Chain A
């Protein structure tokens, strides 16, 4: 009988899935036995959100090789379309799981379409230019949401870009998106289980894409544009494919985010460039192109500020210092050398050699 051989990439992927599932099982057991603090329970869904964001951005930055600083903008699109749908359908679809799944699909499609539209002109640029344009785009989305007013009454929807008074709603009409005040009263449908399912779906999409024919084409664009063009690879198609899938997944994360909080506002804090850069930090710390690394660094960097609460006022300072130290430890050549010299693997091998 021929021995079933697991190739390296499959082993790698299984490790990634296994890690997520294991983390889920451990958390479920801990919750079941009542060993998890409320803080940790409250953080579970945000953790899923940031993991999905980091993995999806890694698709653009690591696999496609383009620097995007507008990822929070796509998240914002997903969050608002998803929350808008749930708010409208709150009384129509009372089965929350179905409503949430539909919201996710709508959020993903909306963010994907926006990603496609933005990608068409923008992906002609490269490097710094692309980064700056995506940065501007993220800010535009945030600012549009901040002046957008949508209300609903018996006659249907009303739109305005001025204020909620100019919607001209009749008695009993409700304002759904109230400009800077955003959407309030989104049903809290997001659960940890749902978040984990979405992470696994994201991983399946991203990992399968990477190891497919299309994925190899995308990576060839990253490695050498001229060479890949010369062998007949449709550059525009593959760039757009990677970019809009990445945007759609960010939209999924946005829907999850919106359904975890009862008030959703587009502030510089959550959908501004700060957030885009934060996601980029997850990706860079975890290793560009390294999906598993993105997951781990997203979890660590989201947990860190909360775990440092004991340090009160010095919390954010210490957080930044730790971030610098971790970046150095992970990526400075000296440290890499040092790590290799004293790595566990090597020590074990050495011991074996001695024996």
Chain B
């Protein structure tokens, strides 16, 4: 028995060492032939890898698009959505013959939602030969990576990094989603102009860039609007399960509407707890609330009447959304959220910009970036997350915000 144990443990260690060896060889091989890495990276990519096979001959014959996001850790939902959304778009484009006849190779790297790891992921992709970046998914990481990509003059389009600092001073970076200030201003204007409520309470996450960014602009814009902010309460990532204090304050202040510039997980808890204390104001959120109807163990009847400004809803009736959702569900077995739609759009925006500029895969990274920057000012793209999207030189997107209301357990567009 003792001997058996010894042998087993030796075997295990040997296996570990072999695995490290694998990791090593993969890492160092990334500058050369990269097919293996690309194949393992994108989940459920077997068919695409086969189709890509003839195109994987050498650099300069395919466009190499990289993507970064958290596929592990607490923010994995967003990273995986971006990974799959971009993957779906790239498969579609490749099946249709590529961009101007050139196929796309795709590689997604995990950043664990950590700035430092995100820069590591960016460098890994650079070693792989990335020419354009779809990323990163989260705002904080995107600021760190944008500084690096600006240094290399690498073209970057972020599906969901919404902070202003991403595009400030970095003219190579473009956004698909609205910037945080735009969402805050948009929400305040919508509430004011449509006279949704007079007394407004805000509950926001002060430890989150997205949430506090929207909150600040909302408060600033609220000064110009007809309504009044009666309470503004914060919570942090460390205590986001009990909201009774924040809700009680809003209730005591007589709020008719509670503005929730937060993600849907916390919002579902707030709705449940508000219901438990017989507090029934109107709830109003931003794009982070998209997905609230899919929260497990959440009574969706509570979400009835919740209004949100979001560019994408999986239940929308139009044909483009319908076909995207069904293809996504078929490929990944999950209903896509707004992040997936943003990433899907980002790839098609890249396609439009490449077609407009006539860029070729043999161009250097910097030349490619210059060409695409020129094209971004000229193109308009109809995507899932907005119609006639266009871009300023600073990289922010111009599109009309859409207001949705949850009616009968479905998102419906408010006209």
Contact A38 B126 (CB under 8 A): yes
> Does B33 interact with chain A (Cβ within 8 Å)?
no
Within 8 Å CB of B241, what residues of A?
none
Residue A43, interface by CB 8 Å: yes
Task: Compute how far the CA of A268 lies from the CA of B238 in the bound complex, rounded to whole angstroms.
Answer: 9
Candidate in A39, A46, A260, A305 with the most chain B CB atoms within 10 angstroms: A39
Please determine whether B209 and A180 come into contact, CB atoms closer than 8 angstroms. yes
Task: Tell me which of B16, B41, B219, B238 contacts A322 (CB under 8 A).
Answer: B16
Is the pair B12, A325 in contact by a Cβ cutoff of 8 Å?
A: yes
In the complex, A267 has a CB within 8 A of chain B: yes
What's the least CB distance linking A255 to chain B, in Å?
15
Whether A105 sits at the interface, judged by CB under 8 Å, is: no
Within 8 A of B (CB), among A301-352: 304-313, 315-316, 318, 321-322, 325, 328-329
Q: Select B165's contact among A188, A263, A267, beta carbons within 8 Å.
A: A263
Are A163's CB and B114's CB within 8 A? no
Residue-by-residue, is B24-47 near A (CB-CB < 8 Å gives 1, otherwise 0)?
111110110000110011010000
* Chain B 110-146 near chain A by CB (<8 Å), digits 1 or 0: 1011111101111110110000000000001001101
**Residue B370 is within 8 A (CB to CB) of chain A in the complex:** no
B206 in contact with A322 (CB, 8 Å): no
- State A292–B27 Cα separation when bound (angstroms): 26
Known: A184-B143, A306-B27. A311 touches B116 (CB 8 A): no
A307 with B27, Cβ < 8 A, contacts A38-B126, A42-B123, A312-B40 known = yes
In the complex, which of the residues B43, B119, B212 contacts A42, with contact meaning CB atoms closer than 8 Å?
A: B119
Report the Cα distance A153→B2, complex, angstroms.
72
Q: Which residues of A contact B295 (CB under 8 A)?
A: none
Chain B contacts for A164, CB-based, 8 A: 216
Q: Are B37 and A310 in contact (CB under 8 A)?
A: yes
Contact string, A248-282, partner B, CB cutoff 8 A, digits 1/0?
00000000010011111101111000000000000
Apart from A309-B27, A322-B20, A325-B16, list 4 A-B contacts with CB within 8 A: A46-B120, A181-B165, A304-B20, A310-B25
Interface status of A37 (Cβ within 8 A of chain B)? yes
A and B contact pairs by CB, cutoff 8 A, 14 listed: A37-B31, A163-B212, A165-B219, A180-B212, A181-B213, A262-B147, A306-B27, A306-B124, A310-B30, A311-B26, A313-B72, A315-B110, A325-B13, A328-B9
Residue of A nearest to B151 (CB): A188
- Contact A181–B71 (Cβ < 8 Å): no
Which chain B positions have C-beta within 8 A of A318?
A: 19, 23
What residue of chain B has the Cβ atom nearest to residue A139's Cβ? B238
Q: A42 to B152: give the CA distance in the assembly, Å.
A: 13
Most central of B9, B24, B122, B236 by chain A CB within 10 Å: B9
Does A212 count as interface, using CB distance less than 8 angstroms? no
Q: Are A267 and B206 in contact (CB under 8 A)?
A: no
CB within 8 A of B143: which of A143, A262, A329?
A: A262
Partner pick for A180 among B73, B121, B122, B206, CB 8 A cutoff: B206
* Set of chain B residues within 8 Å of A165, measured between Cβ atoms: 216, 219-220
A91 to chain B, nearest CB (A): 15
Closest to B41 in A: A312
Contact present for B238 and A143 (CB under 8 Å)? yes
Identify which of residues 131-184 in chain A touch chain B, using a CB-to-CB cut-off of 8 Å. 139, 143, 146-147, 163-165, 179-181, 184
| Beta-carbon contact of B123 and A41 below 8 Å | yes
Residue A127 lies at the interface, judged by CB distance under 8 Å to chain B = no
CB distance from A187 to the nearest CB of B (A): 10
Q: B165 touching A311 by the CB < 8 A rule?
A: no
Q: Which residues of A contact B122 (CB under 8 A)?
A: 42
Question: Are A42 and B120 in contact, CB atoms less than 8 angstroms apart?
Answer: yes
Q: B238 near A316 (CB under 8 angstroms)?
A: no
Q: Does B237 have its Cβ within 8 Å of any Cβ on chain A?
A: yes
**B215 surroundings in chain A (CB, below 8 A):** 163
Whole-angstrom distance between the alpha carbons of A264 and B119 in the complex?
13
A18 beta carbon closer than 8 Å to chain B: no
In the complex, B364 has a CB within 8 A of chain A: no
Q: Is the CB of A309 within 8 A of B26?
A: yes
Cβ < 8 Å to A, chain B residues 5-26? 9, 12-13, 16, 19-20, 22-26
Interface size range of chain A in the complex: 35 or more
A39 touching B140, Cβ below 8 Å: no
B355 on the A face (CB < 8 A): no
Given A309-B27, A315-B110, does the pair A270, B206 have CB atoms closer than 8 Å?
Answer: no
Q: Say if the beta carbon of B304 comes within 8 Å of chain A.
A: no
Residues of chain A contacted by B237 (CB below 8 angstroms):
268
Minimal beta-carbon separation of B91 from chain A (angstroms) = 18
* Inter-chain CB contacts under 8 Å: number: 151
Q: Which residues of B contact A307 (CB under 8 A)?
A: 20, 23-24, 27
User: A158 CB to closest chain B CB, in angstroms?
Assistant: 15
- Chain B nearest CB from A282 CB (Å) reads 16
- Residue B207 is within 8 A (CB to CB) of chain A in the complex: yes
Query: When chains A and B are docked, how far (Å) is the Cα of A339 from the Cα of B94?
Result: 54
A310–B22 touching, CB < 8 Å? yes
CA distance A270 to B146 in the complex (A): 19
With A165-B220, A180-B206 already in contact, the answer to whether A263 and B20 are too (CB < 8 A) is no
Say whether B163 faces chain A, with CB atoms less than 8 Å apart.
Answer: yes
User: Is B113 a contact partner of A269 (Cβ separation < 8 A)?
Assistant: yes
Residues of chain A with a CB closer than 8 A to B143's CB: 184, 262-263
Max chain A Cβ within 10 angstroms of own Cβ: one of B40, B207, B238 = B207
Q: How far is the CA of A178 from the CA of B140 in the complex (A)?
A: 13
Docked Cα-Cα span, A265 to B163, in Å, equals 14
* Contact status of A309 and B209, CB under 8 A, knowing A46-B116, A181-B163, A185-B165: no
Q: Looking across the interface, which residue of chain B has its beta carbon closest to that of A264?
A: B115
Interface status of B208 (Cβ within 8 A of chain A): yes
Query: Which chain B residues border A304 with CB–CB below 8 Å?
Result: 20, 23
- The contact string, 1 if C-beta is below 8 Å from chain A, for chain B 89-114, is 00000000000000000000110111
Q: How far is the CB of A73 from chain B (nearest CB, A)?
A: 15
User: Within 8 Å CB of B209, what residues of A?
Assistant: 180-181, 265
Say yes or no: A188-B19 contact (C-beta < 8 A), given A42-B120, A180-B208.
no
B23, A263: Cβ atoms closer than 8 Å? no
Cα separation A165 to B109 with both chains bound (whole Å): 37
A39 with B144, Cβ < 8 A, contacts A306-B120, A316-B72 known: no
Q: Which of A39, A163, A263 contacts B127 (CB 8 A)?
A: A39
**A124: shortest Cβ distance to chain B, in Å?**
28
Residues 23-60 of A at the B interface (beta carbon under 8 Å):
37-43, 46
How far is A37 from B34 in the complex, measured between Cα atoms in Å? 14
In the complex the two chains form, is B27's CB within 8 Å of A261's CB?
no
Chain A residue at minimal CB-CB distance from B207: A180
Would you call B140 and A265 a contact (CB within 8 A)?
Answer: yes
Nearest Cβ on chain A to B66's Cβ, whole angstroms = 12
Task: List residues of chain A with CB within 8 A of the CB of B13.
Answer: 325, 329
Chain A residues with Cβ below 8 Å from B213 are: 181
Please state if B116 and A270 are interface contacts (CB–CB under 8 Å). Answer: yes
B77, chain A: closest CB distance, angstroms: 15
